[in-house]
Amino acid sequence: SPSFERCKPAQDFGVDDKFRDDAKVIARDVARIYAGHEHVDQLRLEMAAVLRGYARRHPELGYTQGMCFLALVTCSKGKDLAEQLFEDYMTSLKLLWSPDFPLIQQGIPLLPGLLDKADMQLSYHLFHTLGLNLTAVLPTAWLSMFGKWLPFQQLLEIVPFLAASGLPGFLAATIVILTSFRSDLLDHQSVEDVLIFIAALRKSPAPANLMFLCRQILPGVREEVRNRFLAKNVRLNA
């Protein structure tokens, strides 16, 4: 799966140079997401404008690959709303694209245990039998807000949920999507085959009742995340 890159921090060189660097990556990314999708094609210029505007106003963060999926969602809501909606979502989602990707760093150690509770057989197959390394799959999914895993229509549905629910929402969505494809994943007998399958998830039909299932398991995931963080703090303070 393709890696995601961060443009150089503004303090490393001039702000204007940083913006030019951001603008080049924005142009490249906007041109290639959901390639050939007619509705997305109509929004590409507006997406680029929203992303450049944000990078100009927030040079400390600028642009990181994956933000283009969020811009697509906000631009689909109408030109008059897109820029402010992008700013509002970024307030909730800033940790996703901040340096060192803290939301992903928090999520990687939590997911195996949560998936184990949701589907022990699938969890054992992926993490024990095959030795799947989540760093090979989670950044691509999360930084794209699951745009790399889901068709365009489902991206529109899931982004508000993720912005409102934060880390538990990302974990819940990951569990729902993986368990929805459990039969396919269990059929693969090598980690290489699993990675190829996951990289092509967007070509498969979206999971049925995706948002209903995400909302259904969210309270339990949120409670489990809370308990894990409380336990970690107790160990650190012991």
DSSP letter for each residue of 41-79? HTTHHHHHHHHHHHHHH-TTT--BTTHHHHHHHHHTT-H
Q: Are residues 199 and 1 in contact, defined by beta-carbon separation less than 8 angstroms?
A: yes
Rounded distance between C-alpha atoms, residue 106 and residue 129, angstroms: 24
Res. 3: pLDDT tops 50 = no
The phi and psi torsions of 64 (rounded to 5 degrees) equal -125, 140
Residue 92, CB half-sphere, CA atoms under 13 Å: how many? Answer: 17
* DSSP at 127: I
Measuring CA to CA, which residue among 110, 107, 136, 132 is closest to residue 122? Answer: 132
Mean pLDDT of 14-42: 91
**What is the per-residue pLDDT for 16?**
81
**What is the per-residue pLDDT for 53?**
96
Rounded distance between C-alpha atoms, residue 136 and residue 1, angstroms: 8
Mean pLDDT of 27-48: 95
**What is the per-residue pLDDT for 197?**
97
**pLDDT tier for residue 1 given thresholds of 50, 70 and 90:** very low
Task: Tally helices (H) and strands (E) across the chain.
Answer: 13, 0
**pLDDT tier for residue 2 given thresholds of 50, 70 and 90:** very low
pTM of the full structure: 0.89
Res. 184: pLDDT tops 50 = yes
Mean pLDDT of the chain: 91
Mean pLDDT of 109-137: 96
Rounded distance between C-alpha atoms, residue 148 and residue 186, angstroms: 21
Res. 5: pLDDT tops 90 = no
Res. 160: pLDDT tops 60 = yes
Rounded distance between C-alpha atoms, residue 21 and residue 8, angstroms: 8
**What is the per-residue pLDDT for 191?**
97
Q: Which residue has the higher pLDDT, 100 or 3?
A: 100
Measuring CA to CA, which residue among 94, 139, 102, 54 is closest to residue 25? Answer: 54
Q: Are residues 5 and 140 in contact, defined by beta-carbon separation less than 8 angstroms?
A: no
**What is the per-residue pLDDT for 230?**
82
Q: Which of 14-23, 56-65, 68-77, 137-146 has the lowest mean pLDDT?
A: 14-23
Q: Are residues 206 and 179 in contact, defined by beta-carbon separation less than 8 angstroms?
A: no
Mean pLDDT of 9-26: 76
Tokens in use for 208? 């049925």
Mean pLDDT of 185-204: 96
Tokens in use for 47? 């997406």
Q: Are residues 47 and 73 in contact, defined by beta-carbon separation less than 8 angstroms?
A: no
- pLDDT tens for 77-122 read 998 999 999 999 999 999 999 999 999 999 999 999 999 999 999 9
**What is the per-residue pLDDT for 45?**
96
